[in-house]
A = this chain, B = another copy of it.
């Protein structure tokens, strides 16, 4: 999914500035689709505008540069919905944490412990973000409720698993660290 489609997707949920789109895509709910930086978002928005898929209105502000608030047009909405009807790329999960887990026996226990804590904190943070979202008005997008519930379920499960089996992973590293004293004390 390109930055272009990402902008369309976010704008289909409401007006936004480039700055806000970046935030949503790196932290907010839309981080599950793609994350992008300013250097790609601003050019993408300019292009979308020249194609008539979005419109801009400038809101001057004292001190700061004028906010450029983008709105999706009917043409933009159509293009977005049509793009969703075409076959999508498969979901992907990339996990530096699992690479550490895979090599637990070759790493110091402290590294494993830190990686585990970090991963748990990350899941907790994602979970918190999702749980807080339910204050949104749910009229225009009933799909967001389903999506949120799915995310909460999967992450709660992941967190519980890490909490229950994390110690076992640390043990692997510890057992490998002193292979000469097998089962003592």
Using a CB–CB cutoff of 8 Å, the interface residues on chain A facing chain B are 1, 9, 12, 32-34, 81, 84-85, 87-108, 111, 115, 118-119, 122, 140-144, 146-147, 149-151, 153-154, 157-158, 161, 165, 168-169, 172, 175-176
Contact = CB atoms under 8 A, between A and B. Distances in A.
A28 to B, nearest CB: 12
B142 A176 contact: yes
How many subunits of this chain does the assembly comprise?
2
Given A111-B84, A153-B161, A143 B94 contact: no
A33 B95 contact: yes
Contacts of A161: 150, 153-154
Contact of A100 (B88, B101, B105, B106): B88
Contact of A93 (B92, B157, B175, B176): B92
